[in-house]
Structure 1
Amino acid sequence: MMTTTIPPLRYDPMDPSYAKDPYPLLARFREEAPVYYWEQGGGPVFFRYKDCIALMRDARLGHDPTLGAGFPQELKAAYPDFATLRENDLFMVPSEAHARLRRLLNPAFGPRAVEVHRPKVKAIIEGLLEKFPLEGVIDVSSDYTRQYPVRVIASVLNIPPNHEPEFIAFAESLISTIIPGLPPERFAACMPPVSRGMALVREIIADRRAHPMEDDLMTQLINACDEQDRLSDPELVSLVAGLLVGGTDTTYHGTNQTLLSLLQNPEQLAILRAEPSLARNAFDETLRYNMFGRVPFPRYATESFEFANVSIKRGQPVFMFLMSAFRDPEYLPDANVYDIRRQHTGTHWFGLGPHFCLGASLARMEAEIALQSLLARYPKIELAGEPVWGKHPIMRTMDKFPLRVSASA
């Protein structure tokens, strides 16, 4: 690609002011040019809605081709469990295998299928809230939104309660391994909990094969079958790992951003209090209005092609800045308005087509219950200080999110 034909993208995603509010900068980029070249990422970055959506639908873009090549032999030798886990990951398998896995898995993760888990999700979330004071300051990020997603996944998989700490350690270590630039010693420290977690999941798979359970996600996954084709044990273990990584962060960060957006738009918070059924819609509107990323979303060219007068080579990354796209006035004339009553025609922030987020329905249900339960317990909530933004290189995380709450009307 001729990088001289498009302007270079220059910005600091780690700038504290960007973490707090990236949208003025993104609007300037979007207005000045439709596409930039991002030297750090090694590919073009598209900012406008029509381009981003077209690229998300483009079959010539897929996962990073280097991932499908497998792990180096030295890594396999040093960390065989982790290598096996990742080589069966939905994000690493070839497109044909990906299509097969999605065909088997989709029925277990549809909106109706996940509704059976609502009582468990509600019990976990309300159990956390019961530990909070009726009056005072709570850190909603570390003590609430960070806590329930992993416990929900453990519950719907019916992980035995005595193994929950081990399962949570497995999740935390897995999430750490996806941080770009993780020092080798920190990566190595994550491996023992990962190996123990994988062994635990294998034990539970074996037990559940012998003793199936009703309304149990693990049993449903074990029984998932299409023309006698079933998930293998390595695929099942890898799927659980993928749920822990993807299902935890989206819900955690998305719920934080929803609460922050509601507090920054008090008229919308008042609407939600009056109509709690809008909680899921509030979560969707927040993912459109205030996504939690720092950097654009990548896909990789499976063949060379030209798009919007930009030549893209096979294997090259193509970036879509969805945070910009969903604030594009060509998408919504009032895109900068936060409106939890907005009727969305889709949930593109969860992906499109074969790359649509597998756990989207579960994440939306969790966020819905988390928002409804928090607001029901506390008729009064307000910021008790500015959120403390973390230094995660990919996501705008809130290390601290202090709220002053009161159970008195």
Structure 2
Amino acid sequence: MSANPTNPSETRPMAQFNPYAPGFDANPYPALEKLRTEAPISYWEQGRGWLVSRYEDAVAVLRDSKRFSPNRADWEFASVLGSAALIPELEELNKSGLFALNAQDHARVRKLVSPALTPRAIERLRPEIQAIVDEILDDVAAKGRLDVVNEFAERIPARVIGSMLKIPKGREELFQDFTNAVVKNFLPGLVAPEEQEILRRHIREGLTLVGETIDDRRRNPLENDILTTLIQTEEQGDKLNKQELLSLVSALIVGGFETTVHLIAFCVYNLLQRPEVLAQVKTEPELLKNLIEEVLRFDNFGKMGIARYTLEDVELGGVHIKKGQMLLLMLNSALRDESTFDKADVFDIRRNTNASIAFGHGAHYCIGANLARLEVQIAVGTLVRRFPELRLVKQPSFGPHPVIRRMEALEVDLRSPSA
């Protein structure tokens, strides 16, 4: 096997890894176990980066912000995903985003943002999220059957974010179009050419809407309002500027949409696969929090892992990796690592999941994790409570997606709803 002199170490095998192989999305775990066992740190030529598949190594990278950075000057893996973002305005906006900032600016912005996204601040959204979920289920209750992905999960995140920002009445549909366009914009390979101009229009109109909302909130602050908190939060005289606020809204959409949709779908699927677990959740609703964490660990919907870039030559797990190279931290593999999780291949709703790194770790821990967890807890809990005879109609189908195991449809039978 010939070595690439500018990329992989000549002393390590190349990864025999194909996340686009038939059946991978439905069950990636045999392939991930093979990686962990045979080549836990190995170079993947197609992705032009190193695959890190063990828990210990992944955590070591996530903890070390001096040698590893999420910031990319040139993301080589973009050649696999397709071109960069379709909309120049969003591309410019991303330069103010958390993942594009240097360590000092990232810490500054994160410190300003954190008060608006604490568990206590997010908990205030519970009544709004509950009302959104109830309304969606009211719409579908009479049908008897439900596609959990398309008719339920996908209808929640945009409405929640719009409610968080208190988008003006009558403009919710415009914000929904904006949200859908932002998500699609970062997956250009999945966008048909005839859709691109529509996406551009929706994004430009949406950015104008969010900008006007920010300006209005500066003039007319509201109590217990996340956008007002973001605008007014100050640290030693420093505040977020409008560009940073727009970037944060965009990040909430991109990071929160797919995460919430798929976590809802994967939680419902894993519940319905295990009648004994479903029975426990019905009698002990507080177990929903455990369910979410165990689904994130046991059946993580990530496919590609999260990227980090070396700031200097490093040794990791006995492998030499050169400065500027990309690492893909395979969290879906790390969270099934037998050396960290006892009986890792067993779904255990009462497991202690304190070691979970599903939402990252350290300085770049996902700022939207509390929001995603609350949305999923309310959505899945309400679905199970209102439709106690819920059952799976058939196995889920998966569609093309470069970086996640995209559940395309999950059909369930609601039977007779309870009062």
TM-score normalised by length of structure 1: 0.93
Residue 71 of structure 1 corresponds to which residue in structure 2?
none
Q: Displacement of 1:4 after TM fit? A: 3.0
Residue 66 of structure 1 corresponds to which residue in structure 2?
73
**CA–CA distance in structure 2, aligned partners of residues 92 and 8 of structure 1:** 29
Structure 2 counterpart of 1:310, which letter?
A: V
Task: Note closer, same or farther for the CA distance 1:79–1:144 as it changes in structure 2 (3 Å cut).
Answer: closer
Q: Contact 1:140/1:402 (CA < 8 Å) preserved in 2?
A: yes
Structure 2 counterpart of 1:297, which letter?
A: I
Q: Contact 2:149/2:408 (CA < 8 Å) preserved in 1?
A: yes
Alignment of 1:189-268 (within 5 A): 189-268=198-277
Confirm or deny that 1:273 pairs with 2:279: no
Residue 105 of structure 2 corresponds to which residue in structure 1?
97
Residue 117 of structure 1 corresponds to which residue in structure 2?
125
Structure 2 counterpart of 1:48, which letter?
A: R
Confirm or deny that 1:378 pairs with 2:384: no
Unmatched 5+ residue regions in structure 1? 69-74
Q: Contact 1:142/1:400 (CA < 8 Å) preserved in 2?
A: yes
Q: Displacement of 1:64 after TM fit? A: 3.6
- Partner of 1:331: helix, strand, or coil? coil
Q: Displacement of 1:82 after TM fit? A: 2.3
Structure 1 counterpart of 2:174, which letter?
A: E
Residue 344 of structure 2 corresponds to which residue in structure 1?
335
**CA–CA distance in structure 2, aligned partners of residues 405 and 165 of structure 1:** 28
Residue 367 of structure 1 corresponds to which residue in structure 2?
376
Confirm or deny that 1:298 pairs with 2:307: yes
Q: Contact 2:311/2:323 (CA < 8 Å) preserved in 1?
A: yes
Confirm or deny that 1:177 pairs with 2:218: no
- Partner of 1:155: helix, strand, or coil? helix
**CA–CA distance in structure 1, aligned partners of residues 169 and 257 of structure 2:** 19
**CA–CA distance in structure 2, aligned partners of residues 87 and 305 of structure 1:** 27
Residue 323 of structure 2 corresponds to which residue in structure 1?
314
- Partner of 1:288: helix, strand, or coil? helix
Structure 2 counterpart of 1:106, which letter?
A: S
Confirm or deny that 1:325 pairs with 2:331: no
Q: Displacement of 1:50 after TM fit? A: 1.1
Structure 2 counterpart of 1:61, which letter?
A: F
Residue-by-residue CA offset, 1:91-149 (whole Å, 9 max, x unaligned): 11222111110010111111111111111011111111111134621111101011111
Task: Note closer, same or farther for the CA distance 1:285–1:141 as it changes in structure 2 (3 Å cut).
Answer: same
Q: Contact 1:285/1:340 (CA < 8 Å) preserved in 2?
A: yes
The counterpart of 1:15, out of the listed 13, 21, 41, is: 21
Q: Displacement of 1:81 after TM fit? A: 2.3
**CA–CA distance in structure 2, aligned partners of residues 116 and 184 of structure 1:** 39
Quote the sequence identity (%). Answer: 37
Task: Note closer, same or farther for the CA distance 1:84–1:295 as it changes in structure 2 (3 Å cut).
Answer: closer
User: Bigger CA drift: 263-272 or 148-157?
Assistant: 263-272
Structure 2 counterpart of 1:312, which letter?
A: I
Unmatched 5+ residue regions in structure 2? 1-6, 76-82
- Partner of 1:256: helix, strand, or coil? helix
The counterpart of 2:58, out of the listed 39, 43, 52, is: 52
Q: Displacement of 1:206 after TM fit? A: 0.9
Aligned residues, how many?
402
Q: Contact 2:141/2:417 (CA < 8 Å) preserved in 1?
A: no
Compute the RMSD of aligned alpha carbons.
Answer: 2.0
Structure 1 counterpart of 2:151, which letter?
A: D
Q: Contact 2:302/2:331 (CA < 8 Å) preserved in 1?
A: no
Q: Displacement of 1:392 after TM fit? A: 1.0
Q: Contact 2:71/2:102 (CA < 8 Å) preserved in 1?
A: no
Residue-by-residue CA offset, 1:26-84 (whole Å, 9 max, x unaligned): 1122122322210012122121111111111122111243169xxxxxx99x9552233
Task: Note closer, same or farther for the CA distance 1:216–1:346 as it changes in structure 2 (3 Å cut).
Answer: farther
**CA–CA distance in structure 2, aligned partners of residues 407 and 208 of structure 1:** 44
- Partner of 1:406: helix, strand, or coil? coil
**CA–CA distance in structure 2, aligned partners of residues 88 and 7 of structure 1:** 38
Task: Note closer, same or farther for the CA distance 1:180–1:305 as it changes in structure 2 (3 Å cut).
Answer: farther
Runs of 4+ in 1 over 4 A off after TM superposition: 186-189
Q: Displacement of 1:297 after TM fit? A: 2.3
**CA–CA distance in structure 1, aligned partners of residues 357 and 370 of structure 2:** 13
Q: Contact 1:41/1:317 (CA < 8 Å) preserved in 2?
A: no
- Partner of 2:141: helix, strand, or coil? coil
Q: Contact 1:117/1:215 (CA < 8 Å) preserved in 2?
A: no
TM-score normalised by length of structure 2: 0.91
Structure 2 counterpart of 1:272, which letter?
A: V
Residue-by-residue CA offset, 1:286-318 (whole Å, 9 max, x unaligned): 001111122232211122222222222222101
Residue 72 of structure 1 corresponds to which residue in structure 2?
none
Residue 167 of structure 1 corresponds to which residue in structure 2?
175
The counterpart of 1:34, out of the listed 40, 47, 72, is: 40
Residue 138 of structure 1 corresponds to which residue in structure 2?
146
The counterpart of 2:298, out of the listed 284, 289, 300, is: 289
Q: Contact 1:13/1:294 (CA < 8 Å) preserved in 2?
A: yes
Structure 2 counterpart of 1:98, which letter?
A: H
**CA–CA distance in structure 2, aligned partners of residues 67 and 27 of structure 1:** 30
Residue 155 of structure 1 corresponds to which residue in structure 2?
163
Q: Contact 2:58/2:334 (CA < 8 Å) preserved in 1?
A: yes
